[in-house]
Amino acid sequence: MLCSSCDQFNTEIAIRSPPQLSRVAMSVRQAVAAGVLRYNSFESDRELTEQRLFLELDLQGALPDVLRYQFDCPTCGRCYGLFVETYHGSGGRWSCTGQLPPNNSFKPTPASRVDLIQALAGPEPRRGTR
């Protein structure tokens, strides 16, 4: 699927040096500031608790041992990740990680909501029978 908003980010980039990490991160920061990409703090924090927010990360200072940040395109829902291991210097990558589900994919329709309630409640007891 082509997306005029985020297609320039739909590539895999191997990150092998601090200057390369800085260039990629600055490009992503600009895209977040422009609304082209959206920083997904929930997914980012779910993987590494207590890591700094992406926009607060000091790229010129000491970096944490591991960086794991998630982003998505508000236009098409494509997801991206920035994953870097800095401690041992093994590097990392920027890549497309998948697709957000459609906005209504988890919303049951009124009919299915009734069916779900009935299924959870079980069969109604019969009245007047022994």
Query: Helix H segments across 10-102?
Result: 18-34, 41-47
First-residue to last-residue Cα distance in the chain: 62
19 CB-side CA count, 13 A: 0
- Does residue 46 or residue 105 have the better pLDDT? 46
pLDDT digits (tens, 9 = 90+) for 66-79: 888 999 999 999 99
Q: pTM of the entire structure? A: 0.71
